[in-house]
Copies of this chain bind each other. A is one copy, B any other.
Amino acid sequence: MVLNKKINYICEKNMISHKCKYAIRALIDIAAQHDPNKPVMSSEIAARQQIPKKFLETILRDLRNSRILHSRRGSTGGYTLLKPASEITTTEIIRIIDGPIALLPCVSLNYYASCEGCDESTCQIKGVFEQVRDKTLGILNHTSLADLRDQYLKNTPQVGD
């Protein structure tokens, strides 16, 4: 990346968004809850995971609208997983929050679009990006929220209650 203006600039281009990282961390936090029936409040998640509270609310709403989470209002409200953590893939989360996994529109499975100005039947660069997509999906599809949670619990021992 050619930086002609700033130096020591933190470049996060093409990376997953902060929002997406927050979403993954929030879901891990919920999945790490002992009792799967006890809803987790957004304020708890915000405090534990260091996520801006108001921003987190919009993220949790997206995840609820996409049928990953269930929510309950009121004083005993909060969020619970709508399906087992082992059935929620990293792919799914990224697709909901950030969108495409592929690096080119014309090789995207869920967000396909033709690359204008390029004849797809003779496209020179399609092949290599199809390979990248397949390898990436291979990993992300096989990494479930349960896997991420187990990693989390291994590294940060929970206090008993």
Contact = CB atoms under 8 A, between A and B. Distances in A.
A125 interface: yes
Interface residues of A, number: 59
Interface in A1-51: 1-2, 10-17, 21, 24-25, 28, 49-51
Interface in A52-98: 62, 65-66, 90, 95-98
A16 B11 CA distance: 14
Interface in A92-117: 95-105, 108, 111, 113, 115, 117
Specify how many copies of this chain sit in the oligomer: 2
Contacts of A28: 124-125
A1 B97 contact: yes
B14 A98 contact: yes
Contacts of A21: 104, 115, 118, 125
A160 interface: no
Interface of A: 1-2, 10-17, 21, 24-25, 28, 49-51, 62, 65-66, 90, 95-105, 108, 111, 113, 115, 117-118, 121-122, 124-125, 127-128, 131-132, 135-136, 138-140, 143, 147-149, 151-152, 155-156
Given A1-B99, A16-B103, 10 more contacts: A1-B96, A14-B14, A14-B99, A21-B125, A25-B125, A28-B125, A124-B151, A124-B155, A128-B140, A136-B136
